[in-house]
Structure 1
Amino acid sequence: MILDVLFPNRCIHCNRIIDPEFLVCDLCFSQIHFTHYNYFENNPVKEKCSLFFPVENAYSLIQFEEKGLSRQIIHELKYKSREKTGKILADWTTERLKFDDHKPDLLVSVPLHPRKLKERGYNQLHLFTETLSSFYNIAFDHQLIKRNHYSKAQALKDKKHRLESANIFSITQSITGKHILLIDDVFTTGNTVSSVAWEILSAGDNKVSVLVMAEDA
């Protein structure tokens, strides 16, 4: 209570004092470019995924713009120790994404290398995934996929190095006959999502759909 008075929560964009559970004020919220994609129909992120692997469905919550508020939101989550941003993004997702009677069987997020996890202190996708799991009543597995190599953040790589991701991931257990919703933060080249997807598809008679927080415009 005292900390809330001394260090009130502020909008990450305009610095207005806002509710402790919020990320941005109402005015700045209107500046976020939500995609409004239909998960079950063709959309830009599904079309991009289809270039790399057989994808069932795909969805992106927001557009990731180089100088927009969406970039600031993702960077708050990944690089500024604002883990709770993951829950906020998940809440925004559940307001917009409806599975109806066609829910996936399992939620799987792209893993961090143990060294990166230790440096950051958390996986930025875990709270997001767990919040979705609770809302939709879909199981999640943070251990199914293992990242084999340590690498610097995608945002800090040039395009050439982003394309170099062979054998980065491996699957840790037998899984077959499942429809897996693969979760990542930002869809850029599609290389990371593709690498994980092929591990899942190669493991057995599985299907893969994709959910990303943001799609690089």
Structure 2
Amino acid sequence: MASEMHWLLEAFLDLLFPPRCVGCGSWGKWLCDNCVKVIRFLEEPYCLFCGKPLPYWGTCPSCANELHALEGIISVAYFEGPIQEAVHLLKYRGRTALASPLAELMASRLPHSDLKAEAIVPVPLHPQRLRERGYNQAALLAENLSKKLGIPLLNGALERIRYTRSQVGLSALERKENVKGAFRADPLKVAGKDLILVDDVCTTGATLEECGFALKQAQAGRIWGLTLARAP
């Protein structure tokens, strides 16, 4: 309850005062033009599956022998500097107004990719974690992205049916095991549709891939992962 009241207060203050840049603190924008210039955007080449930056076109060693549900994962920027601070404020401090400018950055990435989709699906939180946080940051990004791209948002198409511990600090294998079987998709909403699966940060891609397998079991078409940031 205390955590929920804290982010409600933060959101209320955002309504009273103009936004301040998360990078430098200047007034007027959540991300000022100067701080946008220092963001390191991911550039090609990167792994065709997980989106990890590579010195060559192809598949990284981790993905070479894996079965993949996703066509690929695209991340907009490195998880550092203003982007890292923005994600922290959005995710843990109730600064939900950040979802709009961050989704704008994500939308700006799509014209340079081959993503074509009929709907957008956010990575879901477990109901318990949703109650604790009060909102799902991935859903906020997906909602704003849907508006900016004119692509329908499928609310409730994917659900997290098993509570999982945080992925932070886990190895790649532990991350994969942690989310195994944690998601379920609704065939009535996703069958036959090409989808964009949205999350805030990609580290190994384990969560996105597991969501992809759940969507595939519900007969979804092609699925691409899209995240704001890529962690090292």
TM-score class, shorter-chain normalisation, is: 0.7 to 0.9
Deviations 1:99-121 (A, max 9, x none): 89963011111000111111111
Deviations 1:20-79 (A, max 9, x none): xx213333222211124599x9486174677441433432111114xx332212111111
Residues 1:24 and 1:80: Cα distance change in structure 2 (over 3 Å): same
The answer to whether the aligner puts 1:45 opposite 2:51 as a matched pair is yes
Consecutive unaligned residues in structure 2, runs of 5 or more: 1-12, 53-58
Deviation at 1:9, TM superposition (A): 3.2
Deviation at 1:162, TM superposition (A): 2.3
CA RMSD between the two structures:
2.9
The answer to whether the aligner puts 1:201 opposite 2:213 as a matched pair is no
Which has a greater percent of helix? 2
Identity %: 33
Residues 1:97 and 1:38: Cα distance change in structure 2 (over 3 Å): farther
The answer to whether the aligner puts 1:70 opposite 2:83 as a matched pair is yes
Alignment-mate amino acid for residue 31 of structure 2: V
- Partners of 2:24 and 2:165 lie apart in 1 by 30
* SS at 1:196 equivalent: helix
The answer to whether the aligner puts 1:168 opposite 2:174 as a matched pair is no
- Partners of 2:34 and 2:112 lie apart in 1 by 30
Instruction: State which drifts further: 144-153 or 120-129.
Output: 144-153
* Count of residues paired in the alignment: 207
- Partners of 1:75 and 1:44 lie apart in 2 by 23
Instruction: State which drifts further: 200-209 or 114-123.
Output: 200-209
- Partners of 1:44 and 1:115 lie apart in 2 by 28
Q: TM-score, normalised by structure 2?
A: 0.76
The answer as to whether partners of 2:184 and 2:214 remain within 8 angstroms in 1 is yes
The answer to whether the aligner puts 1:144 opposite 2:157 as a matched pair is yes
The answer as to whether partners of 2:122 and 2:199 remain within 8 angstroms in 1 is yes
The answer as to whether partners of 1:37 and 1:43 remain within 8 angstroms in 2 is no
Residues 1:88 and 1:206: Cα distance change in structure 2 (over 3 Å): same
The answer to whether the aligner puts 1:32 opposite 2:39 as a matched pair is yes
Q: TM-score, normalised by structure 1?
A: 0.81
Q: Spell out the pairing of 1:88-127 with structure 2 (5 A cutoff).
A: 88-98=101-111, 103-127=116-140
